[in-house]
Amino acid sequence: MTQANTTRSVKDWNRKTWHDKTEVPGTNLFRVEILHRYEGVIEGEGSIQYLIAENKNLTGSTIALEKVTGSVDGRSGSFVFQQIGTFDHGKLKMTLTVLPGSGTDQLSGLCGQATLESELHQEIYSIPFDYTFEKTK
């Protein structure tokens, strides 16, 4: 695997509750849509759908799928990141995995994973990305 760095910045985001109230007893559930800009070994834009469970004590978890369109290491196409994470009092830990078989065009065969650990709500996130290209049939 090759390891390289990329950055991800937020271009736009929209957060909505799953229910008709802004506050509910217990855990709140949200859906968040975000547009990202990637720079570095990944160049392009990502469109992500987060599902978030947030507890009253500012802890919680998130799952997401993100379609990234652009290039990886100069090869163009698109792929999907599956993202699973937790947050605890402003700290985020998330694993991003390239969904097997999701690469298109020159990104066919892309495999990879990244671990993101940072403060929540940053303008720019630095992401170390381990990746390889498997031979495709």
Residue 13's CB is within 10 A of a number of other CB atoms, namely: 13
pLDDT value, residue 114: 96
**Residue 114 burial class via C-beta count within 10 angstroms: exposed 0-12, middle 13-18, buried 19 and up:** buried
Domain of residue 82 covers 2-133
Residue 112's CATH number? 2.40.350.10
Supply the mean pLDDT for the chain.
Answer: 93
Query: Is the pLDDT score of 137 beyond 70?
Result: no
Give the β-pairing of 2-17 and 59-72: unpaired
Q: How many domains is the chain built from?
A: 1
pLDDT tens digits, 54-90: 998 889 999 999 999 999 999 999 999 999 999 998 9
